[in-house]
Amino acid sequence: MNKMAKNLGLYLILIVLVVSLVNAFLTPSQNAQEMASLTYSEFIKSAESGQIEKVSIEENLVKGTAKDGKLFKTYVLDAGPLAQELVKMGVAVEFIPPQKAPWWAGMMTSLFPTLLLIGAWIFILYNMQGGGSKVMNFAKSKAKVFIDNRPKVTFKDVAGCDEAKEELQEVIEYLRDPERFARLGANVPKGVLLLGPPGTGKTLLARASAGEADVPFFSISGSDFVEMFVGVGAARVRDLFEQARKMQPSIVFIDELDAVGRQRGAGLGGGHDEREQTLNQMLVEMDGFDASTGIILIAATNRPDILDPALLRPGRFDRHIVVDKPDWKGRQAILEVHSKDKKLEDSVNLDIIARRTTGFVGADLANLVNEAALLAARNGRKALSMSDFEEAIDRVIAGPERKSRLINAKEKEIIAFHESGHALVARLIPGCDPVHKISIIPRGHMALGYTLQLPEEDRFLISRNELIDRICVLLGGRVAEEITQGDITTGAQNDLERATQLARQMVTEFGMSEKLGPMTLGRKQHEVFLGRDIVDDRNYSDEVAFAIDQEMRAIIDGCHSKVKTLLSENFDLLHKVTRSLLEREILEGEDLETLIAGGELLPLINHEKEKAETASSEQSAIEGETGNNPSDDSGGFQPEPAV
């Protein structure tokens, strides 16, 4: 228990003791002998018969002593006439003036409920704030201060963002040797804003900056400034910068800056709320009249589009560092960082894994290596193999296998034709990304099967023909169902959604429509208060909208006709790939190439099946009976449900 908790408890105990003492002094003491209560008529009768020796009168209370020594009491309405009658009867009468309590005792008695309520309120506030060192500590900053216990992470532990490390290294060098910059008249940036998608390593870069710089480091989240009490956010900002000034040179890191730095004037209640007061105070602290040169502010956000422009101007956040998704070499470096403390088999090639994880960010790659380690431990291996990484990639992209989902033979056949259609279209159209794997094993929440294409290199520009090819690949599954089953299913819902979205973007955003020309149609309205794009502003006429629909339909219909012709010409190959997929459930890219080249795949070795057949044969030999053959001779189109 800290000092304030002890003081609070001591004050409450003192209040209770004082009130108890006041009540004790104000309460008349009782005689040891029991005092009997008489009715007024009994009291008058006893007085007239001469049985009462003396009485004492205090307001309406009459206490007396009988001649036999017994004590009694009674109550009267008017003691004046009664006293005169008692004197005539020979009874000794004594009037006792009313006793008044001290003024302070009455004040304490009347204030006790109020003091009790105040004490309870302070106690509740104290618990709400997590038991800080002071009762009224909710105006204090919640920043974690690292001085001698700075994070052990350094720039050597950060990979895949070399440019960002170079930018931050300059700030670290200034904090280590500010005179070197001052001699040249150079001013280091006051604020560094780290921008980028989630999981790219913005917070990790800030931790590495703390590990590299030999200065105090303050870390806080943007949401820690906002509180239920008005004015607390601004007070916490003042307290944070006041602490940083006392320890300057220092680094202040604010994670998720968009929680407090959103654009002002976007609130539904008039624009003057608690968050805006906090932001105003931050703007003043960063570049006010009392400007400090020894404080470097680092902030991270993945929503720079909603930040207030005053935060982004030079003098506040001077330097904007983009921490983007890593390229192939960056992914390889990240994989090396996360796998350096794990035992890998000689067959593991991180270069191949990096090429197969296009679009993965640092957090995805860390999760990938961890999933591979879990799979290796689950399978009882002593080192991570390439198959563990392959399975981990599938788990990260499509989710874990759903072996418990039972699918009947007919649906399994339709799924196999669907995925074979995707794979064949992707393989037969020149320029498409290579097919890496085809699977009809259910994964994740809704995926009954998937076809995985992995690009050979990172791409930053996509041509119109490449977009058309992508739409063709998306329609390959639906067309395969049409020409093989004579019917269509709901399995192509996500494919159609993505194909339609691509076609709309080609027409309205990329200017790839010959009829409408190089125009961008429609404006997105950015609702800053809600934090995302919620509506498209239709800035075109109904005639243009009709033309957009026609162009989209023309693109989709053209791709559909192209895919239908392609799969019809390769109908036998489609059945061949489907049969192999039904038999194996998973086909690698090399297997697909073998089938297209006219070759045959090696027989699938099923050790569990061999064990079952051997056991059945032994049992039949013992009993002298012939066992049933569990194999299926339906040509692969009626397989047993996957369990």
Domain ranges of the chain: 138-322, 328-397, 409-596
pLDDT tens by residue, 480-522 = 999 999 899 988 999 999 999 999 999 999 999 888 889 888 8
Residue 535 pLDDT exceeds 70: no
**pLDDT score for 633:** 31
**pLDDT score for 528:** 44
Residue 30 pLDDT exceeds 60: no
**pLDDT score for 57:** 81
CATH of domain 138-322: 3.40.50.300
Residue 137 pLDDT exceeds 90: no
44-58, 524-538, 572-586: least confidently modelled range: 524-538
Let me know if 419 is a catalytic residue: yes
Burial class (CB in 10 A: 0-12, 13-18, 19+), 563: buried
Residue 6 pLDDT exceeds 70: no
More confident residue, 227 or 304: 304
CA separation (Å) from 406 to 188, 398, 411, 446? Answer: 63, 18, 10, 13
* CA 464 – CA 248 distance, rounded (Å): 55
**pLDDT score for 614:** 41
Output the six-digit token pair for 233. 């956010």
Q: What is the mean pLDDT of residues 42-50?
A: 81
Q: What is the mean pLDDT of residues 314-342?
A: 87
Q: Which CATH architecture has domain 328-397?
A: Orthogonal Bundle (1.10)
24-28, 283-287, 352-356: least confidently modelled range: 24-28
Burial class (CB in 10 A: 0-12, 13-18, 19+), 540: middle
**pLDDT score for 625:** 36
Whole-prediction pTM: 0.65
pLDDT tens by residue, 432-480 = 988 988 988 888 666 788 888 888 777 788 999 999 999 999 999 999 9
Confidence of residue 279 (pLDDT cuts 50, 70, 90): confident
Find the catalytic residue in 274, 371, 390, 419.
Answer: 419
CA separation (Å) from 261 to 47, 210, 300? Answer: 90, 23, 11
**pLDDT score for 560:** 95
Distance between alpha carbon 605 and the CA centroid of its chain, in Å? 45
pLDDT tens by residue, 87-121 = 778 788 777 777 666 666 666 666 666 777 777 67
CATH superfamily for 409-596 is Peptidase M41 (1.20.58.760)
CA separation (Å) from 385 to 332, 348, 371, 391, 441? Answer: 17, 6, 12, 10, 22
**Average pLDDT over the chain, rounded to whole?**
77
**pLDDT score for 215:** 79
Burial class (CB in 10 A: 0-12, 13-18, 19+), 360: buried
**pLDDT score for 290:** 52
Residue 534 pLDDT exceeds 50: no
Q: What is the mean pLDDT of residues 124-144?
A: 55
**pLDDT score for 147:** 67
**pLDDT score for 48:** 79
Q: What is the mean pLDDT of residues 78-89?
A: 76
Q: What is the mean pLDDT of residues 602-629?
A: 44
**pLDDT score for 26:** 52
Residue 599 pLDDT exceeds 70: yes
More confident residue, 133 or 262: 262
* CA 193 – CA 172 distance, rounded (Å): 15
